[in-house]
Chain A
């Protein structure tokens, strides 16, 4: 028991620090990658290659004046930055990031909390993030902030449903809500991105919307709404929203890696799949996990500097009229397929099973992407009246 408490405390501190440092570093990466995309240099003055830029920005934000609008709802105004930032960090707690670490006192699982309900916990906490944004918008007593906050609540709730639905398909295959079991099942055969390709597609779109990133950054939409829900915030409270945004990206990337890309699993080898646990295995799987998360973070940045933003009505139409029915229909089809293969044909989950489902996904994807193509679903505003 003491051992468990000690290791948990250490893991909490280490993971928290790693995420915070990672987030700070991520702001630097974002600016450097965007500069690279646009054929510029980006921040390169503070420290080697501009690496200390986040520290300089943080310091600046600490020393800036904190403003509090006179007619704001003080309590909610102060609570909002924390509310948007805490859920993102809490979600990280249940995601395993490496194989257990052997120590003199026993194996330490490389996850802050290996909850048996890990999956439900993720869904529960992901939906809490919207409160920070709504509180901020409401308590600022500012029209732009309110519009941004309301847009955001509508957006996040809409896409959360699609996101939750897409993960149901993962549960159907994994057969358990514990996150470690989801990873174990993927290690046995293939990553879920193959048998559940469309679920992954829905998940990644919803995850972009959940994290309020381009093309779904309407709550912020700097060109449209001044700055959206955080218009009235300054200094450290303002940067806490940014930390929240980047923490959310890290969480969403970690989730994508875990649910669809085998988590810390190293592909094409089963060396890392079972005991005996060694430090080498822990380090290798940790590196693998970081690589996968890093890739998705890069994807986030890449998309932001490549695609334009949706208009609000386009966003809502996509959420409710496309993503939600799609996710529902998909669950039905996949559940039937799994029942057919498992209960009728007696297959157990293995590579053959996964490939059969992958084939089904490809068949479904062809008409879907035809329909999603320009001119079929996403249309100009003149079609708004008819829709």
Chain B
């Protein structure tokens, strides 16, 4: 067992610990602790920098042991540079690039130190001057050869999607290498969340990723409640769980429809597109907004579900359950659809473990990672949603995982709606405790959403770190593409359906 086991100190999903209880190590020992823990089966949940003093940066690592449902944290103090963790521990790769960009700290020996979002440092210690930034300069990886050609896609795309730039090194139709450049959606979310007016924070959290409103709001509220020692009511927890699963349903249905559309399988694309609307309409009934904005507030749910509303949503979902089964069967049992999805965009199980991917991507290669199981919170502590896994790791497997999750979420949501606990839906949520660290994890539809909040001596937020599942998983898309045909890129992309805004923050 690693030394990290002792350093956990009782940190759990949504259980705050005192900030001074987090060990402060030397840089070398910090690196050894993190990579040792990762070797021992822990996983980096978050790794970020926080300005400390005049010109120093405090690096904080939050790790998770998914088997025992425990979290652990450690920290160190660095100046302008420190030895990078990535060579020993590839999971740290995007985090260290982020630290270099946000805090102006150079991880020395980092093998792929490229700009992540291309923005000026926003967490720079006050005594340090920021470096000049050239947004256009990006050192692309290139493959040389007479027959190798380069295809650039984006940041402006043909469809109504977010901006992102994809650079393919291709040989004929075969993709040799894919490099993804993001950052076009950077809005300074973490800075906004660290502002003193916490009432507005939840609105910011809701707009981190437009399709994961409930997920991010849930994580934001979870961290806030942990720090405020607010005890949510059972009814509030149920309503939030229902909203989260409705969001998952809407997005999974939409994704399967989009996958069908990408192989030009029109029947499923049309039906699933409509069914996605049904789920959004249910969220509309629940919250007054098709994406669930305004429903989740620290302490519970902003407004209660009446019996009539519950019955209406129940009816709609019951109908959906009957309608969705034949459409999914039509799609998954059609031979030529299978032939288009099988073996495309494979992400291996070992890559998932090594790079720390999360969500349905990992469940599609038999890596059972699901926050609802590993670090359950709220309603998921009492009511289990069976986890869906596949083993092939290809587009088909990811689609099947979504199909199973649709079935299970439908069942869960209907069950919860029929057995809503009595009582108020919202509890008081007071000021935050001083000098504490809280980690809130949520299994959003894309995977693990993490909000880490550290408060200062006056109970104000000192650092609010957001990790969207896309932050981990964009690398999975880049790994999945080589060896596939360039024309399968939309299909692969859709099977991950990652968020640009969630990554860019």
Contact = CB atoms under 8 A, between A and B. Distances in A.
A382 B158 CA distance: 30
A65 interface: no
Interface residues of A, number: 35
| Residue among B264, B484, B485, B486 with the highest chain A CB neighbour number at 10 A | B264
A308 B487 contact: no
B331 to A, nearest CB: 9
Interface string A210-231: 0000110110010111110000
Contacts of B336: 215, 307-308, 310, 374, 378
A332 interface: no
Interface stretch (B137-145, B179-187, B338-346): B338-346
A382 B339 CA distance: 10
Given A312-B173, A312-B487, A381 B264 contact: no
Nearest to A148: B487
Contacts of B334: 308
A224 B487 contact: yes
B342 A310 contact: no
B261 A223 contact: yes
A37 interface: yes
Given A221-B487, A309-B263, A311-B488, A379 B151 contact: no
A184 interface: no
A378 B335 contact: yes
A205 to B, nearest CB: 13
B257 to A, nearest CB: 12
Contacts of B343: 380-383
Nearest to A214: B264
A60 B338 CA distance: 40
A314 B260 CA distance: 17
Contacts of B418: none
Contacts, number: 91
B288 interface: no
Given A308-B340, A309-B340, A313-B485, A374 B335 contact: yes
A176 B266 CA distance: 42
Contacts of B396: 380
Nearest to B487: A224
Interface string A185-226: 000000000000000000000000000001101100101111
B339 A314 contact: yes
A311 B340 CA distance: 7
Interface string A349-387: 000000000000000000000000110001111110000
Contacts of A373: 335
22 contacts: A37-B267, A38-B267, A38-B271, A221-B264, A223-B261, A223-B264, A224-B262, A306-B266, A306-B267, A308-B263, A308-B337, A311-B339, A311-B488, A312-B173, A313-B173, A314-B340, A379-B342, A380-B338, A380-B342, A380-B344, A381-B484, A382-B342
